[in-house]
Amino acid sequence: MRLTLAILILPTAFKICYHLASFKSYKYLIMNSPFADAQTLIPGGVNSPVRAFQAVGGEPLYIQGAQGAYLTDHLHRQFIDYVGGFGPMILGHSHPKVVQAIQDAAAIGLTYGTCNPLEITMARLVKQLMPSIEMLRMVNSGTEAAMTAVRLARGATKRNKLIKFTGCYHGHCDALLVAAGSGATTLGVPSSPGIPSATTEDTLTVPFNDIKAVKALFSQFPKDIAAVLLEPICGNMGLILPEKGFLNELQALCQQHDSLLVFDEVMTGFRVALGGAQSLFNIKPDITVLGKIIGGGLPVGAIGGRADLMQQLAPSGPIYQAGTLSGNHLTLAAGTTTLALCQDASPQLYAQLSDYTHQLTAGMRQAADRHNIPLQTAAVGGMFGFYFSEKPVTNYVEACKSDQALFRDFFQAMLAQGVYFPPSAFEACFVSQAHGQEELRHTLDAVNQAFASLQA
């Protein structure tokens, strides 16, 4: 009898003890948040500014794992993820073939400081998918790739001036951190102390989609402009598409004035289409900056373009660039596997991503209409964005006029329902192959409830 009673009671007692322990652990984590500790050890508590949640309030998520379309934080809460590492996780988190590729590569070494065969595999694959790229140089981040593109353009043309677009973000290198988007916009810091004025005096800025402003600069400096650098689809001031003919006119102006057209496809490369944004708009830039997806989730960047330009990089030419970890075989194992899987799944993969983003943004607009909330949306391939604005958004100034306080409240309402959007009104959102109808239904239900609470 006693044995029987013990058998019945012990599991219940164990569960009670387990939950008490979990509750104590939960209380400890709440009372001693990782962010509080991080702020004593890391500037601002974060290693990249947008993560600090300054634009949306509250404390940043601390993620301890991710699978498919979901993130799991240190409190074991799950979130449908629309950040996707800010772009690279096109196949979803922890794709088994990508993970296996990384494990296999790690088993034979971590870094060599030498050449490795996967460098050739990556270059050949990118060249096949993006015909404008005849040669490729691997680097370690999008910032490094954009910095190299500027140096190459200036060295090749023997000109100094550069046109960039207000709100386009090309990393934190000095010459390009002018009227930047992304975290710089979120924090209200369009440039940064520590950058000498002489470093940026040759960086000319104009509004995105304003071809007249670009023509005016070419008229003012007809033989001085080395390159026009832009995101062909802006992803660092929300998501803004180029107006019809804008990219074609930019290319014509560059050709007319012997300047170089540089596409920053760090986000859009292999994300909006297998051939990137340049394939959607049938444009062949002279130089392309890549990142995100070509690393499969590991740190990466690359610069590619016409062979006559690329051969001017050292050691085949005089324009110096180097990197100890450039072309690291761990990153290339993840990146080549990811690209190959995207290629094998195309065109169905990109049709699936596009269908999801368009269904989601259409559902968001319908919910906004029901609750009389002003909302503008955009979607292309596996990227989408939205603004709380009465009018369509076509440039940085219009993006800044959107209701950021409303975005903050919406972000928090969605987070409370297990949906994670980028913690900034000026970041694009991303979906993956792992996002399906269940995630779509949950997200749209959460959107409807969030809008209802905002209206109240």
Active-site position among 164, 264, 286, 420: 264
Please report the sign of the dihedral spanned by the C-alpha atoms of residue 410, residue 375, residue 81, residue 170. Answer: negative
Q: What is the 3-state secondary structure (H, E, C) of 307-353?
A: HHHHCCECCCCCECCCCCCCCCHHHHHHHHHHHHHHHHHCCHHHHHH
Q: Is 198 exposed, middle or buried (0-12, 13-18, 19+ CB in 10 A)?
A: exposed
Q: Which of 70, 169, 356, 387 is catalytic?
A: 169
Full strand arrangement of the beta sheet holding 70-73? 63-67, 70-73, 78-81, 419-420
Q: What letter represents residue 13's amino acid?
A: A
Give dist(CA 139, CA 56) in Å, integer: 33
Catalytic status, residue 224: no
- Give yes or no: 320 in active site: no
Name the catalytic one among 82, 292, 356, 396: 292
How far is Cα 303 from Cα 310, in angstroms, rounded to an integer?
9
Contact indicator for 362, 389 with CB cutoff of 8 Å: no
Give the CA radius of gyration of the chain.
24
Q: Say if CB 379 and CB 357 are below 8 A apart.
A: yes
- Give residue 246's identity as a one-letter amino acid code: F
Distance CA 286, CA 134 (A): 10
Q: In what order do the strands lie in the sheet with 161-165?
A: 135-139, 301-305, 287-291, 260-264, 225-230, 161-165, 203-206
DSSP code for 243? P
Q: Cβ neighbours of residue 297 under 8 Å, at least 6 residues apart?
A: 85, 88, 89, 93, 98, 334, 338
As a whole number of angstroms, the distance between CA 405 and CA 388 comes to 9
By annotation, the residues acting in catalysis are 169, 264, 292
